[in-house]
Homo-oligomer: A and B are copies of this chain.
Amino acid sequence: MTERYSAGQRLAAEALGSALLLAAVVGSGIMGERLAGGNVAIALIANTAATGAMLFVLITIFGPVSGAHFNPAVSVVATLQRNITWSVCAAYVAAQVAGALIGVAAAHAMFEMPIVQVSLKPRSGAAQLFSEFIATFGLITCILATVRFAPSRIAAAVAVYITAAYWFTASTSFANPAVTLARSVTDTFAGIRPIDAPAFIAAQLCGALAAMLVMSWLLSPRDRPAR
């Protein structure tokens, strides 16, 4: 991890980044739904563009401070790979969840909605959980390989991956436990019922671990050069 910045600065970066990410996810969902005249695809196109764009910005600007995780699944993988300690991981996750909740509240305030809400949108079933498994598997695969091969492109790669994943997974790719928790407290386009969140989070963590295992083999160079 980057040690040029204090723990407070790093946690602030995680919290502020998560807040801006959720403001973008929830706010653009509200705006998209309001303007799209009932065409859900158009609302999701706007939601996708805003989310991908914000991810590119946030990873570019906070990567050098905190690593720009904004995602407990990413922090857990970083911990398992010995890049951060478990206590740092716990603090990161707390900052991510707190920031994400603040971001949802800010989106509600911008759109003149009740600040505190609870989602009523059901997202459950094996297909949804398989979607989250695949979505997070792909995200962690993308991150681990890009960090290895093209670290200067990590912001673009993650942003572009999520752009694809919003559309090719049936769950629209939450792929992030903090995002999932925060989206359970907004009854808008991006919401998910709180009762459905734990299974989403479990599927995400399974996908992250699976990607870590696959990539640890796939990306390990051979000991000796080929003859």
Give a binary string over A147-173; 1 marks a CB under 8 Å from any B CB, 0 the rest: 011100100110011011011111100
Partner of A4 from B27, B37, B222 at Cβ < 8 Å: B222
Contact (Cβ within 8 A) A12 B218: yes
With the chains together, A44 CA to B187 CA distance in Å?
24
Contact (Cβ within 8 A) B56 A160: yes
Complex contacts, A43 vs chain B, CB 8 Å: 41
Contact (Cβ within 8 A) B5 A60: no
Contact (Cβ within 8 A) B149 A60: yes
Of the listed stretches A62-70, A176-184, A193-201, name the one at the interface; the rest are far from the partner chain: A62-70
Contact (Cβ within 8 A) A61 B149: yes
A219 interface hit (Cβ, 8 Å)? yes
Complex contacts, A46 vs chain B, CB 8 Å: 41, 44-45, 167
A116 interface hit (Cβ, 8 Å)? no
Chain A at the B interface: SS class? helix
Contact (Cβ within 8 A) B146 A222: no
Chain A residues bordering chain B, tally (CB within 8 A):
86
Report A15-51 residues with CB < 8 Å from chain B CB. Answer: 16, 20, 23-28, 31-32, 35-51
A111 interface hit (Cβ, 8 Å)? yes
Contact (Cβ within 8 A) A31 B167: yes
Complex contacts, A164 vs chain B, CB 8 Å: 24, 28, 49-51, 53-54, 57
Complex contacts, A85 vs chain B, CB 8 Å: none
Partner of A145 from B51, B62, B161, B226 at Cβ < 8 Å: B62
Contact (Cβ within 8 A) B36 A32: no
Contact (Cβ within 8 A) A41 B41: no
Contact (Cβ within 8 A) B157 A23: no
A225 interface hit (Cβ, 8 Å)? yes
Q: Which 4 A-B pairs have the closest CB atoms?
A: A27-B168, A61-B145, A3-B226, A35-B41
Q: List 26 interface pairs A-B (beta carbons < 8 Å), by A numbering.
A: A4-B225, A6-B222, A16-B218, A23-B168, A26-B168, A27-B168, A27-B169, A32-B167, A37-B41, A39-B39, A41-B43, A42-B45, A48-B49, A49-B164, A50-B163, A53-B161, A54-B164, A54-B168, A57-B161, A61-B149, A64-B148, A64-B149, A65-B219, A110-B131, A110-B134, A112-B125
